[in-house]
Amino acid sequence: MAEKSTAEMKATLGLTGLTVNAMALSLPELKLVDPFDGVGDIAARRLRTPLDPEISFSDDPLRMLRAARFIAGYGLVPEPELVAAVETMRSRLEIVSRERIRDELDKLLLLPVPTAGLWFVVNTGLAEEFLPELPALALEQDPVQRHKDVLAHTIAVVEKASPERTLRLAALFHDVGKPLTRSIGPGGVHFHHHDVVGAKMARKRMRELRYPTEVIEDVDRLVALHLRFHTYQMGWTDSAVRRYAHDAGDLLGRLNELTRCDCTTRNLAKARDLAARMDELERRLAELREREELDSIRPQLDGVAVMRHLGIAPGRDVGAALEFLLQIRLDEGVLDDDEILRRLDAWWADRSSRATSS
């Protein structure tokens, strides 16, 4: 900080919003300027504002969300006055651009342990202003038809996931479809198709927060696929492994990690079983990767070869032929050249016959 009067420095630093970042070095003597005892607050694990919190948050409402990041990042405990101000003023967040809110949310999610910050935005009601899907996960617990606390589970999954934006966002959104799909039947509480519903909800919220299209697409796919692993209770055939890898694509590693993180049960036997089954899947993936081009599964013939062999021009028939060949590749792996051409000829003859009869 360039040389200024004490009053000027105090006035400038008072606009930073929180005492723990209302500090500076005075140049050239490298003297710490700390007019609001930010160092003392760090030592005391205390979070407060230099001015009255109502003034600080009115000046820039994003500071309410930034407070969550400081709570989680530095293990600080917010002063009651700060908490009360957020609870009262949370609607002021509506004047903040979605881009700034998105960036601050990302910073919170990428902390090593964002848990305390996520609970802060839920408990103060702040999340209702920019991420209402999160507090909605606090489903009423039925004393008879029990199910896990979905909100606590979600925050635990976020904490377990590696601090990478796409993965943490997928962890945050992976169960948001549960409130809309909750039903109670003879077997207890169910959330059928919450993966599909949740993927649509995640896409909508992330668009509203102005996330880049490629990030939205990746999170959408991870949320939609996060239950796929559990559909293979009886073991993994080569075909199942290929389809799992093909659908995940370049998100395969993150999908596997999300699946592992999604296990927050306190039942050690269940946790061991899931870990063992995931280990088996990853072993099978490694085996197939050695034998086949698992990371880039494609039809055994390309479009040019299909057109040349069948004597057809570019068009829908070529696309249909490639899809037919892709399904063979996924189900059976790589066939010898004569067999794949025989299959293609039989498919084309059947397709031509049906087209003629119709």
Sequential pLDDT tens for the chain (358 residues)? 444 555 554 544 445 579 888 888 777 778 888 888 888 988 999 999 998 999 999 999 999 999 999 999 999 999 999 999 999 999 999 999 999 999 999 999 999 999 999 999 999 999 999 999 999 999 755 444 455 689 999 999 999 999 999 999 999 999 999 999 988 877 777 788 899 999 999 999 999 999 999 999 999 999 999 999 988 766 778 888 888 998 999 999 999 999 999 998 888 898 898 899 899 899 988 888 877 777 677 888 888 888 988 888 888 888 888 888 888 888 888 888 888 888 888 888 888 888 777 6
Task: Name, in order, each residue with C-beta under 8 angstroms of 279's C-beta and a sequence gap of 6 or more.
Answer: none
pLDDT given for residue 358 in this prediction: 63
CA distance 109 to 119: 12
Helix 316-332 × helix 303-310 angle, to 10°: 110
CA distance 302 to 313: 14
Q: How far is CA 208 from CA 21, 121, 131, 165, in A?
A: 30, 18, 10, 17
Q: What single letter denotes the amino acid at residue 151?
A: L
Structure tokens at 167: 């993965």
Give φ, ψ of 238 to 5 degrees.
-60, -40
Peptide bond into 28 cis (omega under 30): yes
Residue reference for tokens 């999300």: 258
Nearest Cα neighbor of 287 from 348, 335, 228, 238 is 238
In this structure, the number of other CB atoms found within 10 A of the CB of residue 281 comes to: 20
CA distance 262 to 105: 21
pLDDT given for residue 140 in this prediction: 55
Give φ, ψ of 70 to 5 degrees.
-70, -35
Residue reference for tokens 């969300």: 65
In this structure, the number of other CB atoms found within 10 A of the CB of residue 335 comes to: 15
H or E stretch at 31: strand 31-33
pLDDT given for residue 104 in this prediction: 97
Burial class (CB in 10 A: 0-12, 13-18, 19+), 92: middle
CA distance 22 to 203: 37
Domain ranges of the chain: 6-230, 299-357
CATH of domain 6-230: 1.10.3090.10
Q: What angle do CA 135, 105, 139 make, to 5 degrees?
A: 10
H or E stretch at 108: helix 98-109
Q: How far is CA 221 from CA 160, 176, 188, 244, 255, in A?
A: 20, 14, 28, 12, 9
CA distance 41 to 38: 5
In this structure, the number of other CB atoms found within 10 A of the CB of residue 293 comes to: 11
pLDDT given for residue 81 in this prediction: 97
Give φ, ψ of 348 to 5 degrees.
-70, -40
Nearest Cα neighbor of 90 from 59, 56, 49, 126 is 126
Answer whether 288's CB lies under 8 Å from 244's CB: no
Nearest Cα neighbor of 245 from 282, 195, 270, 208 is 282
- Alpha-carbon Rg for the chain in angstroms: 27
